[in-house]
Structure 1
Amino acid sequence: MAVKEIATEIGHSIPPEGPHTITVHARGWDTGIALFRGEESVVQKLKSIYPRIFPFGHAQTLSIAVHQRLSFPPTHGCQVFTQPDIFSVAQEHAISDHRKEPKLVAGDLIFKVVDIAGVRLFCVGYPMAKTAGIIGVWRNFGTGASTRLSEHLLTQVDTLVEVPFDGDVSLEKIPTATHLPESAAHQAIRERVVGLLNRAPLGPQSEAVAMDDVYLYPTGMAAIYGLHRAIMQVRKGPMVGLGAIFASTYHLFCDFPDGFKHFGACDAPSGVMDKLEAYLQVEAEAGRKVSYIFAEFPSNPILVSPDLKRLRHLAHQYDTIVVIDDTVSSFCNVDVLPVADVIITSLTKSFSGYADVMGGSIILNPSSRHYPVLKKVYQETFHNEYFAGDAEKLLSNSVDYFPPQHHSEPVLYPSVSDTAANYAAVMRPPTTDFAPGYGCLLGVDFTTPATARAFYDNLHVHQGPHLAAHRTIAFNYNDCVFGRDLEEAKYHAGYGLRKEQVRIAVGLEEVAELVKVFEEALKFGVAAVKKGDINT
């Protein structure tokens, strides 16, 4: 029986399509690249996409409505946010030395504040011709208005009033945020997260995580940025990133003014922990403290698992904070509380599982020596920005949460990595209702670009930038997110992020069905190898 082609049109979401879906089908290697370069031929087809990449649907409509009512110049676009510090963030981001052409100057940006139905929005106007220089503000910081919040505000957009503001982006001069009310769903999500954290632990914690140790954010990136702000209030200094890091997170870290040291190679031969120890020693001898060490566990997309026990020892020795992003492995498979001071999770992924709502969380570990000072900062500064409608949807999606475990042996997967023992060290024990595994993400590593393209362009699953949805999604991730900048691409390829890789996020389809689809695509990869075009 022939493999069925995907019927979803380019620019639409994986089924079922709706006003809040966060996926986009971008079939074909070159289509994905065109999407990330913002080429009009693809952008004009977008009916759905991750709102943090390109605001769409209700979020886009709200921005247009605000733009019209505030009389921004016709040459300018407008994006709306829920946090006041986005003004200084946008200013610093736009004129940073990291920006390349078309680069903005300070006078390019317009800042306005509005209230709609009691909700305060912070509006950034920017020259549309220089969008590439400002787009990172909504992609990397994650504090834009969600599609559900936007839908709610659009029903009352006629109540919009402009709040007096003279354009001074100093935080003390910006009108304060109104913040969003919490609902019962917020507390129920916290309760569910705590239950998952305390389920099948590897060992006793001196203090159990409580519901008020879980802080919810509109997106995973907003959670990362929120934590960074909190840590910088008590521990200024450079931060360290271990291993492959999600592209938006990596670019966010590169912009932090206190410095970012990245150790990309974390595989077994890399000796990364010895290198980290040497770096921490040099910093200590110079009288500097590293603010925190961040690691994905395992890393997206090459699924390497750093040695967390050695990391915990070094962090204790040099008095720094360990932050673990467990998005790929997820709460149910690993227990990183014995080693992490803080856990970050994109709840958009496995916790939701249905690709129609975003969310993120920060979990402060009460057993951590750094807990008292971090808890104090959060108690004094944290305000809810997670819309009730999003919380309610996330709660309902997570009712049947336990990510599917597909037992396969791909090239890139935590169980077959040379760092598999590091993953096993924090893997939860099996219980009667669940056997923990390695998450939904895997990678296929080809020898040449031609082979990778032949496989990918004939792989009949949905294709686009998302993971942990109900249907399988493939993506030529590395070439799309890093391929435009040749210097950056070369750097990341040096520790394993090769453009010849294809990332696969396995969904809920029948295993036999997926095997058939992948076998068919591999035939085209084999044919490309036989052609001998190894230099393409």
Structure 2
Amino acid sequence: MLPPRFFIHKSIQKLCASILSLHGRPGEVCMLFPTISTATRCRNFIKARSLSTPPPCVRVIELIPRLGQDATISSGLCAVLFPADEFKIAKQFWQHSGDGVSSRRAEFCQQELDNGLLREKGIPDEVAVRPAKGPKRYSRVSVDKGHVGTEGTDTSRFVEERFGRNLGVEFVANAKLAVRRRIAGTLRSNVAPSDALALKDEGGRDVPGFTEEDVYLFPSGMSAIFNSHRLLLEALEPRKSVCYGFPYIDTLKILEKFGPGCHFYGHGSAEDLDDLEAKLTSGERVMALFCEFPGNPLLASPDLQRIRKLADQYDFAVIVDETLGNPLNVHVLPLADMVASSLTKVFSGDSNVMGGSMVLNPKSRYYATLKAKLATEYEDNLWAEDALFLERNSRDFVSRIERINANAEAVCELLLQHPKIKRVYYPKNSPTRAFYDACRCTDGGYGGLLSVTFYSMEDAIRFFDAVETAKGPSLGTNFTLTSPYAILAHYGELEWAAKYGVESNLVRVSIGLEETVGLVQTFAKALRVLET
């Protein structure tokens, strides 16, 4: 269950091979992106970080629908072709940016390519290579409006026919609107999509004037963070940023590798804020501070009130990743300029789709500048079929969060009582609980993620092997998922991670929707192994 950004999905590999067979040169490999701008950023990253002499030849090929065919939104794509020796560098961009094509998009474009419906931009139709038609999986169809297929079959509802409960393709725009309304906080109960669209948008998130128009969708949570940082670099004066608290891997990498760099405060402590304030007082300026609320995997919550005061005094933006807290548990937007989130996690829950969101605070001093920049720069690269899955999966978001909150508290209470457990990390029993509670919604809980450390690696291994849950590195799934987080995420830098409190024996648990009593019994059974 590795996150798809960490490897190349087989459907994407297959499409890469097909494109290389038509357009590649000896020794080249490729990566696929939805637009020319995302592909260009990958090309520039490879060329900037390559150590090859002379610099590598990195090409971008844009594939578009053939003339005379129905032009479909997002049915084309771009291929970045480069020497195989540069793959590790290209892979960094793929992982950090989160902007690569999704597997569903690749499958759709594979069918387009097999049917001869894509051509290289700039090459006349009569010259362009037309591959032999492959097996028909998708019919030719507009992903937004629905059209009659190439063989006279009505395919406007091919997604619904293929996947059952999903909306038909003609409802993609409405599906995205329903998703944005759920993110905006205007929906506080489980509702069908028709009800979601009928509701009047009266704002949410405890910010006057905030609406769904301030919510932007991305193909992954990492893409939301990457593009938030990129937006700030383009809209404001580029300066170093601050990474406050121990972050998820790629957030720190983005701040280090794109732009002027960053100041890393991995402990996320009051002393760290003292040091930052001293730098600011002495005249150093920063562009933005990025933090998670709460952090992953130690579940500590940053002092957003103090951070907000520093930001107002010294003129920098505050970007909060609320993935773990989620908007039904915490209101962080009033204290942030931008809020990012991974919709891949608990918002979806079903572990079958990726997505992300970025939210602007209309009361931010940067709002007008960022809004104007987004009006010309923003690309909605969330593939239509992925949007349909997100809409379907998130219909019961509210009730799922309530159940997960209750389950997590019950498991946490059990783990806290065991003498072989060194520490349980959870927002409710964290030393930073006051900072969490200051942003907690009236009916909000403490989320579904917790981490456990042991007095010995042997006990950690025995517990992990014994706990009868799914095992894997993701989180926010509808089923409980246990992970040896430090070993998986920081295997090559365990000593570095330990300096910030992330011990190598740390086991992270993402709580699911199981029946509470049975779930507690599952963990109690695993703990008994430590007593033998």
- Counterpart of 2:36? 84
2:61 is matched with: 113
* Aligned match of 1:396: 392
Paired residues for 1:492-503 under 5 Å: 492-503=497-508
Query: Comparing both chains, which one has the higher relative contact order based on Cα–Cα distances under 8 Å and sequence gaps of 6 or more?
Result: 1
Contact 1:191–1:211, Cα closer than 8 Å, also in 2: yes
Q: Specify the code of the residue in structure 2 equivalent to 1:232.
A: L
- What's the CA shift for 1:438? 1.2
Residue 162 of structure 1 pairs with residue 120 of structure 2? yes
* Residues in 2 aligned to 1:253 and 1:334: alpha-carbon distance in whole angstroms: 25
SS at 1:422 equivalent: helix
Supply the AA of the counterpart residue of 2:272. V
Cα distance, 1:159 vs structure 2: 2.1
Q: Does residue 192 of the first structure (1) align with residue 182 of the second (2)?
A: yes
- Confirm or deny: 8 A CA contact 1:217 1:361 kept in the other structure: yes
Q: 1:376 to 1:275 in 2, by over 3 A?
A: same
Map 1:71-220 → 2, pairs under 5 A: 71-73=24-26, 75-87=27-39, 89-91=41-43, 93-94=45-46, 107-108=55-56, 110-117=58-65, 119-128=75-84, 131-157=87-113, 158-164=116-122, 183-196=173-186, 205=207, 207-220=208-221
Instruction: Give 2:462's aligned residue.
Output: 454
Aligned amino acid, residue 61 of structure 2:
V
- Gaps in structure 1 of 5+ consecutive residues: 1-23, 25-48, 166-179, 431-435, 528-536
Question: Quick check: 2:205–2:333 contact (8 Å CA) kept in 1?
Answer: no
**Contact 1:149 1:387 survives alignment (8 Å):** yes
1:229 paired to 2:187: no
8 Å CA contact retained: 1:94, 1:105: no
Q: Deviations over 1:241-292 (max 9, x none)?
A: 110111122222221231111111124xx5222122112223xx25xx3111
- The verdict on how the C-alpha distance between 1:187 and 1:426 changes in structure 2, with shifts beyond 3 A counting, is same
TM superposition score normalised by structure 2: 0.78
| Aligned counterparts of 1:86 and 1:503: Cα–Cα separation in 2 | 33
Report if aligned partners of 1:95, 1:106 keep a CA contact under 8 Å in 2.
Answer: no
Cα displacement string for residues 106-127 of structure 1 (whole angstroms, at most 9, x for unaligned residues): 7445323131435442222345
Deviation of 1:194 after TM superposition, in Å, equals 1.8
Identity, % of aligned positions: 32
Structure 1 pair 457–106 and aligned structure 2 pair: CA distance change class (3 A): farther
> Of 466, 469, 478, which aligns to 2:477?
469
Work out the CA distance in 2 between the residues paired with 1:392 and 1:202.
Answer: 23
Q: Are the equivalent residues in 2 in contact too, given 1:202–1:426 (CA < 8 A)?
A: no
Q: 1:426 aligns with which of 439, 453, 473?
A: 439
The superposition leaves residues 386-438 of structure 1 with CA deviations (integer Å, 9 ceiling, x where unpaired) of: 111111110111100022212233501001110011000000002xxxxx211
Q: Which amino acid aligns with 2:463?
A: F
Distance 1:477 1:347, change over 3 A: same
Tell me the equivalent position of 2:166: none
- If the length of structure 1 is used for normalisation, what is the TM-score? 0.77
1:457 partner SS: helix
Identify the range of structure 1 (216-225 vs 146-155) with the bigger mean alpha-carbon deviation.
146-155
* Cα separation, 1, equivalents of 2:466 and 2:432: 31
Partner Cα separation in structure 1 for residue 364 and residue 221 of structure 2:
22
Q: How many pairs were matched up?
A: 447
CA deviations over 1:415-466 (Å, ceiling 9, x no partner): 1110011000000002xxxxx2111111011223222222222322111121
Alignment match of 1:257 (pick from 256, 259, 263): 259
Q: Flag the structure with larger Rg.
A: 2
Equivalent residues of 1:202, 1:335 under 8 A apart: no
In the TM superposition, residue 59 of structure 1 has moved relative to its aligned partner by: 2.5
Paired residue type of 1:122: C
The match for 1:272 is 272
Q: Aligned partners of 2:86 and 2:235: how far apart in 1?
A: 36
The answer on 1:417 being equivalent to 2:365 is: no
> For the Cα contact (< 8 Å) 2:43–2:80, is it kept in 1?
no
Structure 1 residues 423 and 201, CA gap change in structure 2 (3 angstroms): farther
Q: Equivalent residue for 2:317?
A: 321
Greater fraction of residues in helix:
2
Q: Is the 8 A contact 1:112 1:162 kept in 2?
A: no
1:301 matches 2:297: yes
Q: Hey, what does 1:518 align to over in structure 2?
A: 523
Amino acid at match of 1:139: Q
Offset of 1:188 from its aligned partner? 1.9
Rounded Cα–Cα distance in structure 2 between residues aligned with 1:457 and 1:276: 42
More displaced, 312-321 or 228-237?
228-237
Instruction: Report SS of the residue matched to 2:319.
Output: strand
Give the direction of change, closer, same or farther, for the CA distance of 1:354–1:272 in structure 2 (3 Å limit).
same
2:445 & 2:176 partners in 1: Cα distance?
A: 28
Is residue 238–residue 261 contact of structure 1 (8 Å, CA) maintained in 2? yes
Shift, 1:234, TM fit:
2.3
Alpha-carbon offset, residue 154 of structure 1: 1.8
The answer to whether the Cα contact below 8 Å between 2:425 and 2:452 also exists between their aligned partners in 1 is yes
Q: Counterparts in 2 of 1:19-30, with a 5 A limit? A: 24=1
Alignment-mate amino acid for residue 370 of structure 1: Y
Counterpart residue identity of residue 396, structure 1 = R
Q: Which deviates further from its counterpart, 108-117 or 253-262? A: 108-117
Residue number in structure 2 paired with 1:67: 20
CA distance in 1, matches of 2:39, 2:107: 23
> Structure 1 residues 115, 132: closer, same or farther in 2, change over 3 A?
closer
Counterpart of 1:33 in structure 2 is: none
Deviates more, 1:248-257 or 1:346-355: 248-257
Counterparts of 2:427 and 2:498, CA distance in 1? 19
2:3 matches 1:50 = yes
**Cα offsets for 1:14-50 (capped at 9, x unmatched):** xxxxxxxxxx2xxxxxxxxxxxxxxxxxxxxxxxx53
Give the superposed CA RMSD.
2.7
Give deviations 1:49-100, integer Å, cap 9, x for gaps. Answer: 5321212143232222222222343x44322012434455435544667x9x
| CA distance 1:203–1:61, shift in 2 (3 Å) | closer
Query: Are residues 91 and 151 of structure 1, via their aligned partners in 2, closer, same or farther at CA, if it must alter by over 3 Å?
Result: closer
1:369 equivalenced with 2:365 (yes/no): yes
The separation in 2 between residues aligned to 1:294 and 1:105, in whole angstroms, is: 36
Structure 2 vs 1, CA of residues 201 and 81 (structure 1 numbering), >3 Å: closer, same or farther? closer
The aligned residue for residue 509 of structure 1 is 514
Distance of 2:220 and 2:317 partners within structure 1:
22
Distance in 1 separating the partners of 2:203 and 2:377: 31
State the distance in 1 between where 2:461 and 2:52 align.
36
Q: Secondary structure of the equivalent of 2:428?
A: coil
Deviations 1:117-164 (A, max 9, x none): 354422223454654343211111111111221222122112232235
- Per the TM alignment, residue 343 of structure 1 is displaced from its structure 2 partner at its CA by 0.7
- What are structure 2's unaligned runs of at least 5 residues? 66-70, 124-142, 145-171, 190-201, 416-423
Secondary structure in structure 1 of the residue aligned to 2:253 = helix
Assess, with a 3 A threshold, how the Cα gap between structure 1 residues 155 and 202 changes in structure 2: closer, same or farther.
closer
Cα distance in 1 between the residues matched to 2:173 and 2:504? 44
